[in-house]
């Protein structure tokens, strides 16, 4: 049996399209138009999420150009830490999160920080067991998101439908959202489960993160995990799995 402890239950009203207020390029314009059409189907309630995100957000301008980066960023690598910078506009070495993860050395003992600039990254991401000690550092969970749309039907099983799957130990995520935008299932639908995050590595931690989906949102698969100041939205056992996890100061919305 899994062991889970949740210290606080609360809800924050919200609206998902806030993500797009600060984005302006052809890709995000297309996604804006697409989600404008899909918004009535989305289970997300995502407008006033600033309660958590403002505290953690990078203190920079919202101009999407490269000159809004922090001074002297990214910092040089050290003996203990390496930085992998991701930006959808090409202002960094990587434009996708998965390409940054792929660049992390196997079995690294360093803390490998994947710094993810604001934007929506429409991709399916996997952190394999051979890539421990990775951090995903977003810029606020209402500004930075990894999004995909698989279901149990399309991916041959609920476990494989996750937008982001993490199997490595020592994973950390801060100020970022994990989203599955598969449609809300209709009564009687089979195979519509759509996981936003599957976390199966040991000793993982999440601070100021969002998890959004229509069904089976957070697959807390196995290992020891810590969640603090996170927003989790879904329906029908939307936190499930066999992990031993502690949840503190959460907002849960069904």
pLDDT digits (tens, 9 = 90+) for 143-152: 999 999 998 7
Give residue limits of the domains in the chain.
Answer: 3-58+85-253
Match domain 3-58+85-253 to its CATH number in 2.60.40.420, 3.30.390.50, 2.160.20.10, 3.10.20.30: 2.160.20.10
Average pLDDT over residues 126-150: 96
Asked whether the predicted pLDDT for residue 48 surpasses 50, the reply is no
pLDDT band for position 64 (cuts 50, 70, 90)? low
pLDDT tens readout for residues 70-119: 667 777 889 999 999 999 988 899 999 999 999 999 999 999 999 999 99
3-class SS of residue 242: coil
Residue 245 forms beta bridges with which residues?
4, 225
Cis? peptide before 13, omega within 30° of 0? no
pLDDT of residue 7: 52
d(CA 92, CA 234): 33
Express as a percent the part of the chain with pLDDT over 90: 52
Catalytic residue list: 237
pLDDT tens readout for residues 153-183: 777 778 889 999 999 999 999 999 999 998 8
3-class SS of residue 18: helix
d(CA 122, CA 21): 17
């Amino acid at each position: 049996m899994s062991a889970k402890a949740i210290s606080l239950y609360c809800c924050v009203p919200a609206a998902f399209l806030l993500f797009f207020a600060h984005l302006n390029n052809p890709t995000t314009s297309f996604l804006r138009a697409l989600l404008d059409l899909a918004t009535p189907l989305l289970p997300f309630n995502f407008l006033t999420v600033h309660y958590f995100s403002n505290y953690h957000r990078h203190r920079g301008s919202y101009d999407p150009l490269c000159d809004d980066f922090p001074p002297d960023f990214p910092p040089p690598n050290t003996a203990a830490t390496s930085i992998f910078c991701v930006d959808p506009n090409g202002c960094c070495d990587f434009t996708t999160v998965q390409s940054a993860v792929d660049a992390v050395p196997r079995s690294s003992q360093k803390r490998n920080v994947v710094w993810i600039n604001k934007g929506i990254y429409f991709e399916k991401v996997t952190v394999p067991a051979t890539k421990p000690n990775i951090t995903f550092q977003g810029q606020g969970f209402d500004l930075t998101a990894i999004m995909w749309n698989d279901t149990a039907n399309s991916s041959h099983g609920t476990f494989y439908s996750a937008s982001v799957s993490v199997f490595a130990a020592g994973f950390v995520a801060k100020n970022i959202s994990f989203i599955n935008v598969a449609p809300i299932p209709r009564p009687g639908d089979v195979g519509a489960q759509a996981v936003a995050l599957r976390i199966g590595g040991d000793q993982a931690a999440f601070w100021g993160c969002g998890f959004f989906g229509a069904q089976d949102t957070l697959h807390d698969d196995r290992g020891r995990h810590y969640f603090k100041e996170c927003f989790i939205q879904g329906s029908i056992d939307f936190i499930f799995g066999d992990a031993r996890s502690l949840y503190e100061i959460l907002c849960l919305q069904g």
